[in-house]
A and B are shown apart, each in its own frame.
Chain A
Amino acid sequence: MEHSYDVLIIGAGVVGNAIARELSRYEMRVAVLEKELDVGMGTSSRNSGVLHSGIHYQPGTLRARLNVRGNALMGRLCRELKVKIQYIGKLTVAQDEEDIRTLHALKEQGEANGVPGLEILGAAAMQAIQPGIGGIRALHSPTTGIICPYGLTIALADHARTNGVDFHLGQEADAVRHSPDGFTVTTTGGDTFKARVLINAAGLYADRICALLGISEYRIYPCRGEYLILDKRLQGSLSVLVYPAPRKGGAGLGIHLTNTVDGNILIGPSNEYVDAPDDYACTSDIIAQLKKEGHELLPGISTADFIRSFSGLRAKQTPPEIKGFKDFVIESRTDFPGFINLVGIESPGLTSSPAIAEMVRGMVAERLPLVEKAAFIAERPGRAELFHELPAEEKADLVAQDPDYGEIVCRCEQITKREVLEAIQNPLGAQTIAGIKYRSRAMMGRCQGGFCLPRIVQILEKEFGYRPEDYLLFSKDSHLFSGRVR
């Protein structure tokens, strides 16, 4: 099949979707190409979900500028998209004199980057914010927040879809040809996509997309971070994010506890280079280390509180022998006019995504006229809260209007049949079990689907005619079942 667009974005992570949603404001034909069966299946669903303030990056870098700008844009964006966000603040904690010098340097750097409200606190003031915390001083950054990373990614894509962007899921770019009137992308499935502007937002695969055009100067080194998810029982043990002061030579920000907007706590991430951009394994050594550090940070944890481990990959441009950070690459290529190239968008890519979208919009404007769409739908319908987060009276009203709200499918997370149905009937048409999970939170609780997966199977069979071979966990060969019982 052949498709023709003004703009084609490769990669439906948070960055690709933020760009798609930004461009959906204008009169142009935009499409997103994604090799997975759903959006946000890579780094965007596999991170801490922290909205960074912008203290960590050198003034003048793209990372610093886009981080601070993205942080400022995110509140309004999340309100429009109905995505949960909480500016809960962060304490970066010093244990010794050298750490204190680090805090002062971070504060100066943050202020140079335009981060508001930074303050160095003594032990008593730290304790007032987070009782029980160890350390002698802390840098408080009140604009640090938490956000649901896959929730944002899905919402951006949903909203872009609502405003006319096409999503081609399960389509992997295989060849790219450049000609005076634009680009032709062929996929492994044999489809052809023509576009005047091509945007590389392929994350961990950005170097491969470059290579398809013959651009050889970039290489991505996947760097794995493993996490443990803790039971919601521990919700409330942490009112603010707490990080150790960064030490020299670290490639990440150190293992820490992170609140999620849904009430779990994450321990992680670790930091280890791996060979493959899809090596999401969890390892027994790191799991043991995370448990140990978790116990030190939160002595009340019991083994029953570990719900799940997962890992994500940072798209690093620095090889293992160098470590450290390189600045984001966001460039409009002069050798391939109309090719907008994004490489090495690792942390704080989530925070920066709205600002990256603005910047890329500017680059698109150099090639195509930006005419605002009269019919642009500014707000995503619905609400940010789940049914179980609403007050009792509102729940009663909803159930009275729609009995599907009264039927709880996932007992751990208290997710209703209405919410599961909405996840199945998602605007993008993603039809995997993981897609239902990320959209509804069903199967994300302490029983990990033991109770609700069979019930979701019933719903899919009865209401959508699924057969055993139709159920995919996340990818085209991730079949859940082998057939009928004989």
Chain B
Amino acid sequence: MQTIKRDLVVIGGGPAGLSAAIAARDNGCKDVLLIERDRILGGILNQCIHDGFGLHRFGEALSGPEYAQRYIDRFHSLGIEAMLGTIVLGLGANRSLQVSSRGGFMQIDAGAVVLAMGCRERTAGAISLPGTRPAGIYTAGAAQNLINLQNIMVGERAVILGSGDIGLIMARRLTLEGAKVEAVFEVLPYASGLPRNIQQCLNDYGIPLYLGTSVIEVHGKERLTGVTVAEIDPLRRPVPGTERLVPCDTLLLSVGLIPENELSRSASVIMEDRTSGAAVDDTFMTSIPGVFSCGNVLHVHDLVDWVSEEAALAGACAAAYVQGEARAAEPRIAISPGPGVRYVLPQTVSGRRDFTLSLRVTEPAREQAVWVRAGKRKVARKKLMRLHPAEMIRVNIKAEKLQDARELEVSVE
């Protein structure tokens, strides 16, 4: 079996991987290899033909493929090596990778690895959807792939369960393609997707959104014939008497994304329950020296702009690691989520560099502030007009504010 060596291997050619590889090269790492399992670069952006990408990064609204292309062009102009149609099947703690492609099955020994594998969708099984298992039930992303990339229409009369962004985008997409979208049902009392998508994908097309409502049974033996929906109480039980049948031939699920960390786990990277991603420090390094993580495999982002920004930092830090930047004996300040915060990352920082906290709140709120405290001492405070679990909040922290801090707590008050 062939074995090759590379200074830095980036796993994944979506927005995170591209950005990390480019930043690593820009920061002086010459020997960068990016591995992508698809035959083209760009990742899931390729099937996101709607617009709205790049508002923060480029100040304009691009489609997914357009956004990706900017990075792909830059990637190629730097002459970075890419292995396409190649999948990483194993990652050892010593940063040795087993990869497979039509060209062969080989081992790659890497000086550093950036994990940028993205995420996958929760399925009917993951939410234990009751009822039968007929044809016509798809995750929203799979339907998006079939419709946008393969010219295949999944159905004519649809119900969408979950108000995640992909589901909202697909509600509009199906409508534009002539399907009837009956409604979007969301078990939570608030929408999971971005407010702009609720407006542009549902309200603008007259598609109703029912909050606190879920599908409690699937009907149909061969092809889906309908779903029973009901209001859901705070303990997640259907409210008797609120059941109603919604005839449909298609059910799209947009019920959450899960970071794709099987490789990370196989390498025994320490994981963080709240994000389902790796625990990282302010250089995006995981518990395994030289293994970095960024993008949706680290935590699920709301906007690709933040993915690119985060991954660029991770790529730069990985380049520094490869080039032997001394890292010994850095202090470790633990960061934990306090009241009102679902998760915060990074999980530890050195206190030697400025960094950006990324966090999500537990519930929608208005006119509150994100507080960052070291014990009783205020480190930072960011006031926000509107807070929503769908929207990631970022808070910049100056290193100079962290002197003598042992741990930080982040809360919403």
Contact = CB atoms under 8 A, between A and B. Distances in A.
A and B from one complex = yes
Contact of A400 (B104, B135, B217, B276): B104
A458 B1 contact: no
A483 to B, nearest CB: 5
Interface string A280-321: 111110010001000000000001101111100000000000
A114 interface: no
B222 A477 contact: yes
A287 B128 contact: yes
Contacts of A393: 1
Interface of B: 1-2, 37, 85, 87, 89, 98, 100-107, 120-121, 123-126, 128, 130-136, 139, 141-142, 145-147, 149-156, 177-178, 216-217, 221-223, 249, 258, 262, 265, 276
Contacts of B221: 278, 475
Contact of A450 (B104, B106, B139, B265): B139
Given A448-B124, A448-B125, A280 B133 contact: yes
Interface string A409-425: 00110100000000000
Contact of B126 (A306, A392, A406): A306
Contacts of A414: 89
B87 A306 contact: no
A26 B216 CA distance: 53
Contacts, number: 156
B87 to A, nearest CB: 4
Given A406-B100, A468-B152, A478 B222 contact: yes
Secondary structure type dominating chain A contacts: mixed
Q: 7 tightest A-B contacts by CB? A: A308-B125, A403-B102, A473-B135, A478-B222, A477-B222, A396-B1, A396-B105
By CB atoms of chain A within 10 A, which of B104, B126, B146 has the most? Answer: B126
Interface in A444-483: 446-451, 453-454, 457-458, 461, 468, 472-483
Contacts of B139: 450
Interface string A338-366: 00000000000000000000000000000
Interface residues on A, range: 35 or more
A308 to B, nearest CB: 3
A162 to B, nearest CB: 30
5 contacts: A406-B103, A411-B87, A450-B142, A461-B150, A473-B222
B42 to A, nearest CB: 15
B37 A481 contact: no
A482 B135 contact: no
A248 B331 CA distance: 63
B152 A309 contact: no
Contacts of A306: 125-126, 128
Contact of A481 (B124, B152, B265): B152
Contacts of A412: 262
B104 A406 contact: yes
Interface in A38-92: none
A482 B147 CA distance: 11
A146 interface: no
B151 A484 contact: yes
Contact of A486 (B87, B100, B177, B258): B177
A34 to B, nearest CB: 16
A482 B89 contact: no
B126 A304 contact: yes
B63 to A, nearest CB: 17
Given A281-B131, A291-B128, A484-B153, A453 B265 contact: no
A305 to B, nearest CB: 9
Contacts of B2: 396
A482 B89 CA distance: 35
Contacts of A374: none
Contact of B128 (A228, A395, A447, A473): A228
Given A468-B153, A486-B178, A395 B100 contact: yes
A485 interface: yes
Nearest to A404: B102
A473 B155 CA distance: 14
A245 B107 CA distance: 49
A336 to B, nearest CB: 32
A400 B104 CA distance: 6
Contacts of B265: 233
Find the residue from A393, A396, A446, A450 having the highest chain B CB count within 10 A.
A450
Interface in A221-235: 228-229, 233
A408 interface: yes
Interface in A244-296: 278, 280-284, 287, 291
Contacts of B142: 449-451, 453-454
A181 interface: no
A482 B105 contact: no
Contact of B216 (A284, A447, A480): A284
Contacts of B126: 303-304, 306-307, 446
Contact of B153 (A303, A395, A475, A486): A486
Interface in A371-429: 388, 392-393, 395-396, 398-400, 403-408, 411-412, 414
B399 to A, nearest CB: 36
B152 A484 contact: yes
Nearest to A291: B128
Nearest to A276: B221
Contacts of A468: 152-153
Contact of A280 (B121, B132, B135): B132
Given A283-B130, A284-B216, A485-B153, A399 B104 contact: yes
